[in-house]
Amino acid sequence: MIQNNFQIYSCPSKTLILGGYAIMNPKCSGISIGLEERFYTVIYKNNNNINNNENLNQQDNQQNEITFTFSSPQINSEWIYNFNISEQQLNQINTDKEKSNPFLESTLKSYNNVSSFLGYYKYKETKLENIKIEIYFDSGFYSEKSQIQDKQISKKFKNFDKNNLQKSGLGSSACVIVSVLSALLNYHDIKSNQILEILSQIANIEAQKKVGSGFDIKTSIYGSNIYTMFSKESIMNLNLDQAFKINKNTGENTNHSTSPKI
């Protein structure tokens, strides 16, 4: 969904109905089903005038820095990150109010690496835009202990106590990565399911500090699928120049595949 000053991206939840731990072997396949519960990412354009705190006021006109502000109204949370372009350094600037979010951080690292590679941060005369993102989710992704005991029926966008959350196993971590990264890539008109999947798998590996099966990432992008695990080497040794088919002389992105199916 696209409006004048914001865009909305969403992706489905998942369940693995066939394969189990066997899909950790690339020689085996499993069947993953995309479910109706979804994550939603809203990305706002032209946010240099959006000031969330004193830190943003000070950084608005600094060409060497970009501020990413993430909010999740349903759990009353906000994460603010500052990316220093020349030093390629990402820092959370509201740690006094909110704990770090490894999934958002790994997603931002993937995005910033690609953006730097493609030259979006290259020219100082280019006015850099701060980015504001809101994250929403269907209530089936989480529950609260009291809700389980009382057998309450939750509404679609129920508010939760973030200190009392119980995951339901529908792939919320994968959905955060895929929906946010898709929004950021499309922000720069990068519309490739293959690139989205590769970068999402890398972000997921970094956030969890281990290599999982990756079927939840793929299901968040493509929906229901017959899944065969990728090889770790093919993901971690990714050559961005080959992946994006970049013409080094012009910096033009020659990959014109369809928009992510999320």
Render pLDDT for 79-108 as a digit per residue (tens, 0 to 9).
999 999 888 899 999 987 888 999 999 999
Banded pLDDT at 230 (limits 50, 70, 90) = confident
pTM over 0.85: no
Q: Which residue's structure tokens are 């229901």? A: 224
Residue 136 reports pLDDT greater than 60: yes
pLDDT at 165: 85
pLDDT at 178: 97
d(CA 251, CA 131): 23
* DSSP assignments along 43-90, one per residue: EES--TT---SHHHHHHTT-TTEEEEEEEEGGGTEEEEEEEETTTTEE
25-63 residue pLDDT tens:
989 999 999 999 999 999 997 655 444 444 444 444 446
pLDDT winner (highest mean) among 151-160, 195-204, 246-255: 195-204
Percent of the chain at pLDDT > 90 equals: 50
d(CA 28, CA 6): 41
Least-confidence region, from 51-65, 165-179, 185-199, 229-243: 51-65
pLDDT winner (highest mean) among 124-133, 151-160, 190-199, 222-231: 222-231
Banded pLDDT at 69 (limits 50, 70, 90) = very high
pLDDT at 87: 87
β-strand partners of 7: 2, 43
Q: Which CATH code for domain 6-45+65-141+167-245?
A: 3.30.230.10
**Two structure tokens written together for 36:** 């109706």
In the predicted model, what is the mean pLDDT of the chain? Answer: 80
d(CA 162, CA 78): 12
pLDDT at 120: 76
The one-letter amino acid at 191: K
